[in-house]
Structure 1
Amino acid sequence: MDKTAIPENIEAIISDVDGVLVDSMSFHAQAWKTSFKEAGIDIEKEEIYILEGSNHRGIIEKIFEKQGMVPDEEDIEQIHKRKKELFFKNQKAYVFDGMDETFKSLQTKFKLAVVSGSDRAIVETLMGKFYPKIFNTIIAGTDVEKGKPDPEPYLTAVEKLAVQKDKCIVLENAPLGVEAAKNAGLFCIAVPTYVSADLLKKADIVVRDHRELVEYLCSLLD
């Protein structure tokens, strides 16, 4: 991994949740697939991986758009509600090896935030289970008007952390998330968890896997 462009004097690390901190995206994708099918729309899980990072409204609108349709507020509310029910019922998410211990160490030196397109209830549940009392702030998809790839989620995190943008790095695994980070003017490191590395090429650095990501994060503690 080329570290030549890594910002100096980093003060904050902002991370996506699903696919970076927690291996949970397959459960999100299945919940979306089922909830859309119940609404009469057939999709593949891979379509959700590409849209990962967008909030629920953005995902529903984009799936409907591909079908040549426009969802009304009742569509959005019902599909969203059903998706949450299915996720909480069926998810068996787990932490990527070494990430929880790494962030326990990082919290001694850096301000930490998570930025997710998922609902606050889902994010808080995952963080409470796997990363309790580690992150200074949580920005969920339901906390912002515009989800990824809009910069609003990441700019909101920067504001909450009270740091300068050039003192932050973002950890992402999704194309829309990388785009959001770059639209916010932030340095971004991406890990190809569910999509190919080619789809993450807008990131400043693309690591091979979570092992390399952990190695990089640990190097920041030196």
Structure 2
Amino acid sequence: MIHHTIIPDTLKAVFFDMDGVLYDSMTNHAQTWVESFQAAGISFPAYDAYLNEGRTGPSTIEVAFEKYAHRPATEADIQKIYDHKTELMQSAPTPGIMPGMQNVVQQTMAAGFRVIVVTGSKQPSLISRLKKDFNIEDENVVSGFDVKKGKPDPEPYLMALKKANCEAGEALVIENAPLGVEASCGAGITTIAVNTGILEAEILSRAGAGMVLSGTQELADNWKSLIRQ
């Protein structure tokens, strides 16, 4: 059961991560990272894709080169691998919406809270669906196009606070990735993690999540009473 005490009393805005929170897209992301690195001669395990989820694409490539190629990635490396990944993502299976999340977003908006999506992604295939699937306008999205540092730096969540015109203590974050949790906690925002990937729940707790749920359906089942505490 979710403890109501975790929700700020003065809640004004809820920030949602996109991949693995709104869309069941992390399998595609992991697979396309593995394939695009493999084409560049780097063995990058799917587990690392989940560990690095939330980073901007170039940052993930830089981390992988340091760890597995033992050299810095060049601009050409970054461009080639990210272009290949984007190409693979375009032909990947269309990801479904995570269980219960349309209701969660709808209920949040109906309760009068500002909803902002905060993602490290620059993949147009999903960002372009937010309006149709969740009624989220482009102006309420912070994406990889907007940031210089990206998660795990608090920058994207600080940008979201600015967009929502609220303080950290008036917002709540729903994340599924350890680096995303680090970023939101670094911005001083209470964070609930939904463990929708292959990582151990402890990793999300250690990153700073105030609570770790087993998935989005558990969040959805409790959401209405939570935001009307």
Which bracket does the TM-score occupy, shorter chain normalised? Answer: over 0.9
Give the C-alpha shift of residue 25 in structure 1. 0.5
Change (3 A) 1:151 1:123: farther
How far apart, CA to CA, are the structure 2 residues paired with 1:206 and 1:57? 28
**In the alignment, is the contact (CA less than 8 A) between 2:6 and 2:190 conserved in 1?**
no
Aligned to 1:50: 51
**In the alignment, is the contact (CA less than 8 A) between 1:12 and 1:168 conserved in 2?**
yes
1:201-212 matches, cutoff 5 A: 201=205, 202-212=208-218
**In the alignment, is the contact (CA less than 8 A) between 1:36 and 1:42 conserved in 2?**
yes
**In the alignment, is the contact (CA less than 8 A) between 1:120 and 1:142 conserved in 2?**
no
Give the C-alpha shift of residue 215 in structure 1. 2.6
State the percentage of identical aligned residues. 37
Q: Are 2:155 and 1:166 equivalent residues in the alignment?
A: no
Q: Are 2:128 and 1:121 equivalent residues in the alignment?
A: no
How far apart, CA to CA, are the structure 1 residues paired with 2:11 and 2:138? 16
How far apart, CA to CA, are the structure 2 residues paired with 1:127 and 1:138? 9
Q: Are 2:42 and 1:41 equivalent residues in the alignment?
A: yes
Aligned to 2:148: 145
Cα deviation digits, residues 94-138 of structure 1 (max 9, x gap):
112221122122212110000111105244224145223467610
Counterpart selection for 2:75 from 73, 81, 93 = 73
Q: CA RMSD in A?
A: 1.6
Q: Are 2:203 and 1:199 equivalent residues in the alignment?
A: yes
**In the alignment, is the contact (CA less than 8 A) between 2:176 and 2:196 conserved in 1?**
yes
Aligned to 2:178: 175
**In the alignment, is the contact (CA less than 8 A) between 1:103 and 1:134 conserved in 2?**
no
**Code of the aligned partner of 1:168:** A
For the residue of structure 1 that corresponds to 2:4, the secondary structure is: coil
TM-score by length of 2: 0.91
How far apart, CA to CA, are the structure 2 residues paired with 1:190 and 1:44? 23
**In the alignment, is the contact (CA less than 8 A) between 2:103 and 2:220 conserved in 1?**
no
Q: Are 2:31 and 1:30 equivalent residues in the alignment?
A: yes
Aligned to 1:15: 16
**Code of the aligned partner of 1:63:** A
How far apart, CA to CA, are the structure 1 residues paired with 2:165 and 2:24? 29
**Code of the aligned partner of 1:138:** V
**In the alignment, is the contact (CA less than 8 A) between 2:131 and 2:138 conserved in 1?**
no
Runs of 5+ unmatched residues, structure 1: none
**Alignment coverage as a number of residue pairs:** 222
**Code of the aligned partner of 2:211:** I
How far apart, CA to CA, are the structure 2 residues paired with 1:2 and 1:221? 13
